[in-house]
C-alpha cells in the first residue's frame, strides 16, 4: 500500500470518527469514493444506507438514527414523536423518524429508517428550533415547547391523547416556561384550541 493510499485512508477514518459519512463528503476531502468499498471490505466501515457509511466500532446510541437521517436530509427538522423522545416527554419509542420540512421542499426518500414527514412554512416551521450534537452530527429539532404545540397542531397524525400527555409531562417536568409554550402555540396558530387544555392543567 502506497503512502498516498495510507494518508487517504487516514483522512476517511478521521472523517468517520466525527459521525456518519456521505459519499459526497469524500469529494470535499479529496478522497476517491472507491476507498469506501475498500474500508467496507476490510471491515472498518459499514454501509448504513445508500450513500451513507459509519465506522463499525462506532457505538450505537438511542438517537443514532436521528443523526443518520439528519446527515442525509440536513434541511429537515426532527419533530413530534421523535422530538418528544429526545426531550424525555414520552416513554414510547416512535416507529419512524418524524420530520418537519418546508411546504415546497422535496420529499425525502430513504430506504431506512422509515420516515413520517409533515410540512409547514413561516413561523410554524422556523419557530422553536434548536441544534443538538448527536453522534457527531448537528441535528435540528423542535424545542420542548414547540414540540408540544406541534402535537396539538398535528393531533390528527399523533392523536390528541399523545398531545395531552406531552403537555402534562412538559408542565410536570418544567421543561420550559408557560410563556414559551404560548409563543410556540401562537406560531403554530393553535393557541385558541390549546388554551382550555393549558388552563385546565397548568
User: Which range among 58-72, 85-99, 124-138 shows the weakest confidence by mean pLDDT?
Assistant: 58-72
pTM of the model as a whole: 0.76
- List the domains of the chain with CATH numbers: 3-55 (1.10.10), 64-201 (no CATH)
Cell triple for 160:
390528541
Identify the residue with better confidence: 73 or 24.
73
Q: What is the DSSP string of the chain?
A: --HHHHHHHHHHHHHHHTS-EEHHHHHHHT--THHHHHHHHTTSEEEEETTEEEETTSPPPTTHHHHHHHHH-TT-EE-HHHHHHHTT--SSPPSSEEEEEETTSPPP--SSS-EEEEEE-THHHHTTEEEEEETTEEEEEE-HHHHHHHHHHTHHHH-HHHHHHHHHHHHHHT-S-HHHHHHHHHHTT-HHHHHHHHHHH-
Overall size of the chain counted in residues: 202
pLDDT on residue 132:
94
Confidence of residue 15 (pLDDT cuts 50, 70, 90): confident
Confidence of residue 183 (pLDDT cuts 50, 70, 90): very high
Cell triple for 147:
414540540
For the stretch 23-70, pLDDT in tens is 778 888 888 888 888 888 888 887 877 777 877 777 666 688 899 899
Amino acid at each position: 500500500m502506497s503512502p498516498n493510499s495510507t494518508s487517504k485512508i487516514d483522512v476517511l477514518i478521521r472523517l468517520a470518527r466525527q459521525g456518519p459519512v456521505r459519499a459526497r463528503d469524500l469529494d470535499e476531502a479529496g478522497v476517491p469514493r472507491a476507498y469506501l468499498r475498500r474500508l467496507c471490505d476490510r471491515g472498518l466501515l459499514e454501509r448504513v444506507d445508500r450513500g451513507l457509511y459509519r465506522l463499525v466500532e462506532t457505538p450505537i446510541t438511542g438517537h443514532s438514527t436521528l443523526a443518520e437521517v439528519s446527515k442525509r436530509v440536513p434541511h429537515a427538522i426532527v419533530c413530534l414523536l421523535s422530538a418528544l423522545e429526545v426531550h424525555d416527554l414520552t416513554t414510547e419509542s416512535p416507529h419512524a423518524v418524524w420530520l418537519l420540512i418546508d411546504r415546497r421542499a422535496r420529499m425525502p426518500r430513504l430506504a431506512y429508517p422509515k420516515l413520517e414527514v409533515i410540512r409547514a412554512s413561516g413561523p410554524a416551521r422556523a419557530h422553536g428550533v434548536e441544534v443538538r450534537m448527536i453522534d457527531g452530527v448537528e441535528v435540528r429539532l423542535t424545542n420542548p415547547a414547540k414540540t408540544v404545540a406541534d402535537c396539538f397542531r398535528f393531533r390528527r397524525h399523533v392523536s390528541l391523547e399523545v398531545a395531552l400527555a406531552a403537555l402534562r409531562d412538559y408542565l410536570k417536568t418544567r421543561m420550559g416556561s408557560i410563556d414559551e409554550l404560548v409563543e410556540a402555540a401562537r406560531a403554530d396558530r393553535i393557541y385558541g384550541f390549546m388554551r382550555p387544555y393549558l388552563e385546565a392543567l397548568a
